[in-house]
Structure 1
Amino acid sequence: MSYRAPHIIVEGAVQYPLGELKGKQVLYDFEKMLTYLEAKGKLLFGKKFKIYREDREIIYKLCLYFIRDKERCSQYGIDIDKGVLLSGPVGCGKTSLMKLLKHMVPHKRPYQVIPCRNIVFSFNHIGYKAIEDYGNSQFFCFDDLGVEPTGRHFGKDCNVIGEILLSRYELFIDHGRKTHATTNLNARELEECYGNRVRSRMRELFNLIGFDRNTKDKRI
């Protein structure tokens, strides 16, 4: 991939054009983006990976967000300056999509996908430094928000992810730094996990993009 040609991605010996370059503007083609995403998905997750027809609409919205198509995003109520909270039932493919889509814009600074339970385990081991580490200025996607255990360090309980989300909110307000996340939970359940204060901050931090609750488990 050349930074002069952000619409062309090279994987091995194969070039994947995602659209056409018109002057300094890339005119993206959704079908070409899907072709690349399926090919890259097979490289990342194995030959059984596929893009499901019923997921095309949600992938379309995510593609618009990642290529920063402000006009079309606004039609879907998506703010390109916020992060993404991708919600949906277990096994619908949320984590895979968030790991995959960042490869479509290799000229943008990538984010790390980190399971929330791993962050809590880190807190249990090293304490509040873990909150500092993940509340800092790096780019993260927090995976499986809301189902992680309560943190406990030297006998003190801590809602680790809730504290990190408050730090990420300050980072967003002060520096425009985005945070992404995935979750199986709905808004009420998230509020039960983190409280009203964190939930209200999450509304400002994230665009909520959700799979249909009846989406099948693709891991079966």
Structure 2
Amino acid sequence: MDNPSKIMEGGVEFSLGKFDGKSVLYDFPKILVYLNAKGKMLFGEKFKIYEEDRDILLKLTSYFIKDQKNCHKFEMDIKKGILLSGPVGCGKTSLMRLLRHLVPLQRPYEMISCRNVVFSFNHLGYKTVEDYGNTKFFCFDDLGVEPAGRFYGKDCNVIGEVLLSRHELFLQTKHNIKTHATTNLNAEELEERYGNRVRSRMRELFNLVAFDEGAEDKRK
């Protein structure tokens, strides 16, 4: 790829800004045009970028393109991952699926449902915690509403254990391996679900980006 400010999708070239030979000067309106088009490819013609989501998207795209100035303004730490919270149906999962395409040269993260992690644990046991705790870039979808884990009659807060492992990994790799997640729960509910120890690790792991509590359900 000679010019990282351009992305080819379905035979169409999208410009995300200007490339000066060293870095890309991104243009937010152009990024929105690209995300809208890519969203339709991924999720069908009904997909669209909503006007009321522009502020959230500005924060998220600033993070993914590593715009230091904007991230500083939004009090976001580029070293940490993203915890995207908001009500059911506001589009959190779609946005996280979409945004990993924005900077093709960055290592993409894999989306995995927390529910599926627990099902895997119930089948395979603690190997699952290792598999998701010690490798790769992940975005854990629907954090906090997964069922309880149970293996050979012993209960386990599986995602809580995975997050503790991810936190250790984050420190060991000097913040190179990040963790992202989406959740419908607020901070108090997350603490209730995972306990104070995990919650404090989550503060170190994540930048919290929150949709407005009144965000509409786009699935209706």
Quick check: TM above 0.5? yes
1:5-50, Cα deviation, whole Å (9 max, x unpaired): 1111001210001000113010000000000000000000000000
Aligned to 1:114: 112
1:39-85, Cα deviation, whole Å (9 max, x unpaired): 00000000000000000000010000000011210111000110000
Matched to 1:201, the amino acid is R
The separation in 1 between residues aligned to 2:6 and 2:151, in whole angstroms, is 48
1:190-220, Cα deviation, whole Å (9 max, x unpaired): 0001000000000000000000000000000
Matched to 2:94, the amino acid is S
Of 37, 44, 47, 1:46 maps to: 44
Aligned to 1:76: 74
The separation in 2 between residues aligned to 1:81 and 1:7, in whole angstroms, is 23
Unaligned regions of 5+ residues in structure 1, if any? none
Aligned to 1:146: 144
Matched to 1:41, the amino acid is G
Aligned to 2:29: 31
Q: 1:117 offset after TM fit, Å?
A: 0.3
Q: 1:128 offset after TM fit, Å?
A: 0.5
Aligned to 1:96: 94
The separation in 1 between residues aligned to 2:36 and 2:52, in whole angstroms, is 14
Q: TM-score, normalised by structure 2?
A: 0.98
Aligned to 1:196: 196
Q: 1:137 offset after TM fit, Å?
A: 2.3
The separation in 2 between residues aligned to 1:13 and 1:46, in whole angstroms, is 17
Aligned to 1:212: 212
Identity %: 68
The separation in 2 between residues aligned to 1:149 and 1:166, in whole angstroms, is 18
Q: Considering only aligned residues, what root-mean-square deviation do their CA atoms show, in Å? A: 0.6
Matched to 1:79, the amino acid is D
The separation in 1 between residues aligned to 2:82 and 2:88, in whole angstroms, is 18
The separation in 2 between residues aligned to 1:30 and 1:98, in whole angstroms, is 17
Of 114, 121, 124, 1:123 maps to: 121
Aligned positions, number: 218
The separation in 1 between residues aligned to 2:10 and 2:189, in whole angstroms, is 43
Matches within 5 A, 1:154-193: 154-175=152-173, 176=175, 177-193=177-193
SS in 2 for 1:216: coil
Q: TM-score, normalised by structure 1?
A: 0.98
The separation in 2 between residues aligned to 1:194 and 1:14, in whole angstroms, is 45
Query: Which 4+ runs in 1 deviate beyond 3 A?
Result: none
Unaligned regions of 5+ residues in structure 2, if any? none
The separation in 2 between residues aligned to 1:141 and 1:87, in whole angstroms, is 13
The separation in 2 between residues aligned to 1:130 and 1:216, in whole angstroms, is 35
SS in 1 for 2:56: helix
1:141-193, Cα deviation, whole Å (9 max, x unpaired): 00000000100011010000000000000011110110000000000000001
